[in-house]
Amino acid sequence: MSYPDRHEQVALRDLVAHARRHSRYYAIALAGVAERGWRLEDLPLLDPVRYWHLESDIGSWAALTAPIGDAYVFRSGGSSGPAKWSVCTRAEWERLCRVYGAAIATRLQARDRIANLFFAGNLYASHLFIHTALSHVRLPVSEFPFAGSTPLDVLARTLAEQRITVLAVVPAHLMQLAACLDAQGQSLPAVRAILYGGDSLFADQQPLLARVFPHAVCASIGYASVDVGVLGASLPDCGPGEHRVFDGETILEILDEDSGAPIEAPGQAGMLVATSLTRQLTPLIRCPTGDRAAWCEPPGPARRFVLAGRSASSRQVRIGTVFVLPDVIGDCLSRAVPGLAGWQVVLSRRHGVDHVLVRIAADTGLDQQATDALLSMLLTAQPGMAEMQADGLVELAITWCATAMLELDPRTGKLPRVIDRRAGDEAGRGT
All structural domains of the chain with their residue ranges? 6-93+222-310, 108-220, 317-423
Neighbours of 75 (CB within 10 A): 19
Q: What pLDDT, on the 0 to 100 scale, is given for residue 361?
A: 82
Tell me whether domains 6-93+222-310 and 108-220 share a fold.
yes
**pLDDT at residue 199 is higher than 80:** no
**pLDDT at residue 321 is higher than 70:** no
Output the DSSP codes for 79-122: TTS---EEEEEHHHHHHHHHHHHHHHHTT--TT-EEEE----BT
Q: What pLDDT, on the 0 to 100 scale, is given for residue 270?
A: 92
Model pTM above 0.75: yes
Which CATH number, 3.40.50.12160, 3.40.50.620, 3.40.50.980, 2.40.50.320, labels domain 108-220? Answer: 3.40.50.980
Distance CA 16, CA 22 (A): 10
Q: What pLDDT, on the 0 to 100 scale, is given for residue 313?
A: 61
Average pLDDT for 394-400 = 91
Distance CA 363, CA 51 (A): 37
Average pLDDT for 166-170 = 94
Q: What pLDDT, on the 0 to 100 scale, is given for residue 193?
A: 97
**pLDDT at residue 272 is higher than 50:** yes
Class of the 6-93+222-310 domain? alpha beta
More confident residue, 7 or 317: 7
Residues of the chain with pLDDT > 70: what percent? 90
**The CATH number of domain 317-423 is 3.30.300.30:** yes
Average pLDDT for 275-304 = 94
Reported as half-sphere exposure (CB side, CA atoms, 13 A), residue 197 has a value of 28
**pLDDT at residue 47 is higher than 60:** yes
More confident residue, 317 or 39: 39
Q: What pLDDT, on the 0 to 100 scale, is given for residue 424?
A: 58
Average pLDDT for 287-314 = 87
Q: What pLDDT, on the 0 to 100 scale, is given for residue 412?
A: 45
